[in-house]
Amino acid sequence: MNFNGQTQLYGFLAHPAQHSLSPLMHNLSFQARQLNACYLAFDLKPADFDSSAANLKKFFAGFNLSMPYKKQIIPYLDELTPKAQRIMAVNTVKNQAGHLIGESTDGAGLFADLQAKGQKVAGKNLLILGAGGAGRAIIAAAADYQVKKVFVCKRPNQTFVVIKQWLQKIAQSTKTEYQLVDYSDQSALKQCLQQSQILINATNVGMDGQALPLTSAVLKQLSTEQFVYDIIYQPLKTPLLQLAAKRGCPHANGVGMLLWQGALAFEFWTGQTMPLLKVKTALLNEIRRRSS
């Protein structure tokens, strides 16, 4: 690609940012779609965020955000999509003639991946582990896909009541039912898992290749009728997914969520589709290279 004075700049803003696979995904897509654009990762230190955020619309045609800026960016935006309003966090911003529009594609990315894998979610019950950044995006997006009920499993810490109030607020404006479950209540967790058709791990438990996000006693409730999704993609086969395989449960790692959230961002910016197969192959090759 030959860059020139008309090249549009896109970026990834986070701290740290060096680990991001977004430049690989989007630059490959720009090239495949013959778009005069470039995507770079920027490690933006917290002390520099406010001064930088005030000038983003001068330089970027669009950008992604990750920790710790998904909420911090909001005062600098001109508009939020309904999805972003629901979680009050964004991971994707489009510069529309100087008008910055914030969107959240994380949760939608997971559901797009489930649908691509033949999983129908409408009318089903989900058990989601964790209510951090990724968890909140998935929880909020569930209402857009006519999920019947979402059990949210969370540790009883200082944000427990805040999340409970947030879930009540979402439930009031959607047809999806939400229930918050304490991680320490093993009996309740067993019941929730028995009632759920899909289990989603939205925590980082399992990234070490050793830990399970639920106790073995709870996970014994898993049946072959249930789909197990782990948003972790490094390692590609977490302990939860290994256990799911042993129990004969269909399952998936987070590569698809990563791919689809990027594809939705790409389409939000450009109006064009991402070359999914080409990008997925490149992602898997890079993830395996980093793991070796």
Point out the residues that are catalytic. 70
Q: How far apart are CA 157 and CA 154, in angstroms?
A: 8
Long-range CB contact pairs, 53-58, < 8 A, 24+? 56/93, 56/95, 56/100, 57/95, 57/98, 57/100
Q: How far apart are CA 250 and CA 256, in angstroms?
A: 14
Of all helices (H) and strands (E), which one includes residue 38? strand 37-43
* Cα–chain center distance at 43: 20
Q: Which of 287, 157, 179, 277 is nearest to 235 (CA)?
A: 287
Burial letters 40-55, b for 16+ CB under 10 A, else e: bbeebeeeebeeebee
Look up residue 145 and give its amino acid.
Y
Look up residue 8 and give its amino acid.
Q
The answer to whether the beta carbons of residues 128 and 138 sit under 8 Å apart is: yes
Give me the numbers of helices (H) and strands (E) for the chain, helices first please: 12, 12
